[in-house]
Structure 1
Amino acid sequence: MKSVAEICSDLIRFDTTNPGSGERPAAEYTATLLADAGLEPVVFEAAPKRTTVVARIAGDSPDALLVHGHLDVVPADPAEWRMHPFSGEIVDGCVYGRGAVDMKGSCAMTLAAVLGMAARGERPRRDLVLAFLADEEATGDHGSRHAVTEHRELFDGVSEAISESGGFSVDSGGRRVYPIAVGERGTAWMRLTAHGVAGHGSRPPVDNPVATLVHALSRIASYRWPVRLTPSVAALLEELGEITGRPVDLDRLDEEAARLGPLGGLFRSQIRNSANPTMLDAGYKVNVVPSTAEAHVDGRYLPGLREEFLDTIDELLGAKVTREFVNLEDAPDAPYPSAFFDELAGALMAEDPLARPVPYVMAGGTDAKSFARIGIKGYGFAPLMLRPDLDYFGMFHGKDERVPVEGLEFGVRVLTRLLTGDRVEQSIPF
């Protein structure tokens, strides 16, 4: 049986850049591994070569758990990398390549865990649904959105799900903090349009849409969004105060995020909404005032704050700029505290006595948004023990993306404990 590092390397070697040539080769590889282990994977495509794989494993309870990951990756420029981004080389104890962290490494851990269970004849304690999805790095239209609309029956009985952006270790000097995501910010990708009067660039402007739009973008970029503490983020801050021995000052959260270093990264982007102008398109000739100007803004809002976010955006835009959504996804959240959160925490603590699991809200978004549409509660839990010198957040979409082999092996052990129920019962200190 292949090791988790070998599976990770194999997956990285498939160039599944999105946009690009599609996920089909990686999906076929994944389906073959599952079929060789005696499973019956279902393979489907939302568009040519945009391939998703789903498999179900019968367990002791029909209340099913979904474990999902995505096979696509963002682009990578080989000239900027120490190793070729699609080499999957193992150097200095790390697997290098695009997707090592986001998230072929996590897919490899899931595959290694379930293949190991199959080889040992172990049955999961509840039904498992495994989904290896296309198109997460875009809108999910060719992946999770397609899966929940056109193949809804594959997820029957699923109540909870685990996936990326949680369960990784953050060194805190003597203990390791493991954030488990119980929610994520919503997505509001917007196209802004300003209309005006076309004319010669040498004349006084009548109604210049470029100027109108730029002023609106400046208001958005310079706006200081107020702090809004959701219950999960408030719980995280309380936990961090106990872990570090110094309460977090709620009136100085930006300064506190800087003081706490890597731990501050767990809440720096999660205490307020945000909106960043990212694209601008206007005009076609230097001496012509165009009749329209367009821009794109990446908006993110915390659970429960969608209307407040949109009302603020409209006020900042003013009357002359219209908006339309390129992508609008709600901010999903999962129960916390909950028995399932305790199970996730217990699996971590059984493998790492120094572990301190804490609740966490993701700054960005994942395929959990699509599964929330059909009532599945998603948790970010892709367990990974990291070396203190590795910047986990910096690995996402960054150059020289890599993951420690020992971290992957740790993740396989944690997932196996979770999926089989073979875990050490411990009281969780919060």
Structure 2
Amino acid sequence: MTIDSPTTTAPTLEGASVPALDAAALCARLIRFDTTNHGEGRSAGERECAEFIAFRLEAAGYSPALLGPSAERSSVVVRVEGRDRTLPGLLVHAHLDVVPAEPEQWSRDPFSGVIEDGYIHGRGAADMKDMVAMTLATLLQWAEAGTQPQRDVVVAFVADEEDKGEHGALWLVAEHPELFEGIGAAIGESGGHAMELTAADGAPVRLYPVAVAERGTLHLRVRAEGNSGHGSRPVPENAVKTLISALDRVGNHNWPLTLTPAVRSYIEQTTRALGHDADLETESGVNAAINAMGEAGTVAGVTIRCSSTPTVLRAGYKVNVIPGVAEADIDIRCLPGTEDSTMAAIDALLGPGISREFLSHQSPTQSDADSHWFGSMRDALLRHDPAAVVVPYCMGGGTDAKAFAPLGISCFGFSPLGADPQRRTVEGVHGVDERVPVASVRSGQLVLQDFLENV
């Protein structure tokens, strides 16, 4: 399609001009596109942001494809041919959409893209227009320098990650699988961020967790049917009571401790780096190890077991009428290797009188932490931070990796952010006053470019 030239005015950094290819400046510019995803197919649309990226790529000499189920829900995909096309290719995926923001709660306009006080401010700054900007900056610098990576690199700037992916990654995989032909591995969000920790002896430790696995996303809609009637006259089958009893069992279920290889490695390697011993043979030992990890223990705490959380309820329309139908939505997350047993447990917990259907069914992912791919990420981080402690981990949530994994692609969470000299950190993801340190984005872009050129 024809791509019209969008506005390309570069933002300023605390009053000074910034280079056109600066990742921080690009991130601020991208934030100014309102790409809010409201869920259930409702969105401000990714089109203008996608067109901006496609125009910049086309002007640099690339041949980007602007694709989507509708113009408003556009994604951008471009393949950069490598020097050795017999090697398995690499996919870099980053999403353009963001979660909603409530402007009245923010200290500045969520879509202003302001750079000040050492931060890039705005919705999507850290989730994940920073990675979009770092990737775009890398491609533009390659074009300017005439750099060609060793292997094919396919970059997908996708729509709709913050909902179901049906307008983004899932749609691309279903409708254009040829775009990902020959791809051996993929990197995406949630990994490679510097985490400043303190060891048992007081020494500083910089931990860089890289995601090698994700819990599966099993979103269910459950339904109870019963006898409708007058509120003053109890009925033999009350749909609301049946549903509430089922949700109580599901929501309060004590899921068993399950240490997958990624989780075990994460706890063992992190506690070792911090100078603590880890006894992972008992539940009390696991809990003690997680507590000793400090901030790094947060993600471990939600990945040592599956979870089931009722989130939405629908029933009734009038206080004196007993409804004949009651429905609820449940967010279920299962660890790699537990999908079948998790659903069997859910069915037993729901009990009789409850039917269910999947709203979203994306299986867990698991890739090899001993692979060349992971090793290359570790090496890139160490070249830029020799003190880095790089460890594998399992994500508690989910990303577009689940869309690409069924193609046989090994998926990793690697969108690097370096340590900020003033110890600024990422703040406000999915919350208020989202921001990411400028220095972290700039150093992260250098690590990303290094990795993509040497993997």
After TM superposition, the structure 1 = structure 2 runs for residues 84-163 of structure 1, keeping only pairs within 5 Å, are: 84-163=109-188
The answer to whether the aligner puts 1:190 opposite 2:220 as a matched pair is yes
What's the counterpart of residue 427 of structure 1? none
Separation in structure 2 between the aligned mates of residue 197 and residue 344 of structure 1, nearest angstrom: 59
Following TM superposition, by how much is the alpha carbon of 1:59 offset from its aligned partner in structure 2, in angstroms?
1.0
Kept in 1: contact 2:68–2:172 (CA 8 A): no
Helix, strand or coil: the match of 2:53?
helix
Following TM superposition, by how much is the alpha carbon of 1:338 offset from its aligned partner in structure 2, in angstroms?
1.1
Equivalent residue letter for 2:84:
S
Separation in structure 2 between the aligned mates of residue 418 and residue 2 of structure 1, nearest angstrom: 18
Helix, strand or coil: the match of 2:305?
coil
Following TM superposition, by how much is the alpha carbon of 1:313 offset from its aligned partner in structure 2, in angstroms?
0.6
Query: Paired residue for 1:26, among 40, 49, 73?
Result: 49
Equivalent residue letter for 1:280:
L
Following TM superposition, by how much is the alpha carbon of 1:309 offset from its aligned partner in structure 2, in angstroms?
0.6
Kept in 1: contact 2:186–2:411 (CA 8 A): yes
What's the counterpart of residue 226 of structure 1? 256
Following TM superposition, by how much is the alpha carbon of 1:248 offset from its aligned partner in structure 2, in angstroms?
2.5
What's the counterpart of residue 44 of structure 1? 67
Q: What TM-score comes out, normalization by structure 2 length?
A: 0.90
The answer to whether the aligner puts 1:35 opposite 2:58 as a matched pair is yes
What's the counterpart of residue 66 of structure 1? 91
What's the counterpart of residue 395 of structure 1? 428
Equivalent residue letter for 2:193:
F
Separation in structure 2 between the aligned mates of residue 304 and residue 199 of structure 1, nearest angstrom: 45
Equivalent residue letter for 1:165:
S
Separation in structure 2 between the aligned mates of residue 386 and residue 78 of structure 1, nearest angstrom: 29
What's the counterpart of residue 24 of structure 2? 5
Kept in 1: contact 2:214–2:335 (CA 8 A): yes
Q: For this pair of structures, how many residues does the alignment match? A: 421
Query: Paired residue for 2:103, among 59, 63, 78?
Result: 78
After TM superposition, the structure 1 = structure 2 runs for residues 26-425 of structure 1, keeping only pairs within 5 Å, are: 26-62=49-85, 63-173=88-198, 174-250=204-280, 251-252=283-284, 253-387=286-420, 392=426, 395-421=428-454
Separation in structure 2 between the aligned mates of residue 366 and residue 390 of structure 1, nearest angstrom: 25
Kept in 2: contact 1:240–1:247 (CA 8 A): no
Which one is further off, 266-275 or 240-249?
240-249
Helix, strand or coil: the match of 1:267?
helix
Separation in structure 1 between the aligned mates of residue 342 and residue 298 of structure 2, nearest angstrom: 22
Kept in 1: contact 2:303–2:335 (CA 8 A): yes
Deviation digits for residues 184-242 of structure 1, max 9, x if unmatched? 01010000101111111111232111011111111111111111011111111110121
Kept in 2: contact 1:240–1:248 (CA 8 A): no
Separation in structure 1 between the aligned mates of residue 197 and residue 368 of structure 2, nearest angstrom: 26
Equivalent residue letter for 1:43:
L
Separation in structure 2 between the aligned mates of residue 146 and residue 38 of structure 1, nearest angstrom: 26
Following TM superposition, by how much is the alpha carbon of 1:255 offset from its aligned partner in structure 2, in angstroms?
4.6
Deviation digits for residues 33-84 of structure 1, max 9, x if unmatched? 1112110101112124000100011111222111110000110001111221
Following TM superposition, by how much is the alpha carbon of 1:379 offset from its aligned partner in structure 2, in angstroms?
0.6
Kept in 1: contact 2:271–2:292 (CA 8 A): no
Kept in 2: contact 1:193–1:321 (CA 8 A): yes
Separation in structure 2 between the aligned mates of residue 219 and residue 102 of structure 1, nearest angstrom: 34
Kept in 2: contact 1:65–1:161 (CA 8 A): yes
Helix, strand or coil: the match of 1:98?
coil
Separation in structure 2 between the aligned mates of residue 221 and residue 47 of structure 1, nearest angstrom: 38
Following TM superposition, by how much is the alpha carbon of 1:395 offset from its aligned partner in structure 2, in angstroms?
3.2
Following TM superposition, by how much is the alpha carbon of 1:403 offset from its aligned partner in structure 2, in angstroms?
0.6
Helix, strand or coil: the match of 2:348?
helix
**Structure 1 stretches of 5 or more lacking a match?**
423-430
Equivalent residue letter for 1:331:
P
What's the counterpart of residue 36 of structure 2? 17
Separation in structure 2 between the aligned mates of residue 288 and residue 115 of structure 1, nearest angstrom: 63
Runs of 4+ that moved beyond 6 A: none
Following TM superposition, by how much is the alpha carbon of 1:386 offset from its aligned partner in structure 2, in angstroms?
4.1
Among the aligned pairs, what percent are the same residue? 45
Q: What TM-score comes out, normalization by structure 1 length?
A: 0.95
Deviation digits for residues 8-47 of structure 1, max 9, x if unmatched? 0111000000132210000001111111211010111212
